[in-house]
Amino acid sequence: MFHKIIILSLGIFALTGCDAQKKSRINTKSPEMSAGTKSTSPDNQKDGIIYLSEGENKFLREYQMNVTFKGVSEDSRCPEGVNCIWAGVALAQVEVMGTSTRPMILNLASGDFPARNYHQSTEFNGYTITLQDIAPYPKSQDGTKALAGKYKIGITIKKAEPSADSTTK
């Protein structure tokens, strides 16, 4: 009888210890999860520009779309303090997904260069998405490799104007 009481009490202690570990793990993970999936708030939007850090994901209720800044695939901008022949371009990859559409990766450039198929704006789901800002700017001593993971972009989203050659039903 004494052995059964000891075994039962050890089992209860073990289970309460597991429950305490789960609660402490949940409490430490909550801030990380909420930081990555922020909704658009007034402090993240200035003058209609939506700011995103690299890897950040936002659901924009106003446009019924989810926007994720995946990263910068190319940054050939001329570093500060260096004389260059070409100003260069930064190419940001932005994943957009409407509530009833599949995800699509948009390559938005810091400037329009049609010869290289770089565009600052593109249309998606009836909206024109434009890259307004990409920071930080490369410095001559660090180069662009030092900026990996530190990029931030600013985009604007506006209702697309119907073009003259498109047909509407």
Q: What amino acid is encoded at 27 in this protein? A: N
Q: For 11-23, what is the mean pLDDT? A: 56
Percent of the chain with pLDDT over 90: 32
Over 60: is that where the pLDDT of 153 sits?
Answer: yes
- When pLDDT is cut at 50, 70 and 90, the band that residue 6 belongs to is confident
Cβ neighbourhood burial of 34 (10 Å; 0-12, 13-18, 19+): exposed
The pLDDT tens digits for 89-113 are: 889 999 999 988 999 999 999 988 8
Q: What angle do CA 50, 54, 56 make, to 5 degrees?
A: 65
Average pLDDT for the chain:
76
**Predicted local confidence at residue 22, as pLDDT:** 44
| Residue 104 backbone phi and psi in degrees, to 5 | -140, 135
Q: Which helix (H) or strand (E) holds 25?
A: helix 2-36
Q: For 62-74, what is the mean pLDDT? A: 91
DSSP character for 161? P
In the chain, the DSSP E strands lie at: 45-46, 49-53, 57-60, 65-75, 90-98, 104-109, 121-124, 127-135, 152-159
Over 50: is that where the pLDDT of 31 sits?
Answer: no
Q: Could you tell me the pTM of the whole model?
A: 0.64
Residue 97 CB partners (closer than 8 Å, separation 6+): 65, 66, 103, 104
Q: Of 128, 87, 127, 80, whose CA–CA distance to 110 is shortest?
A: 87
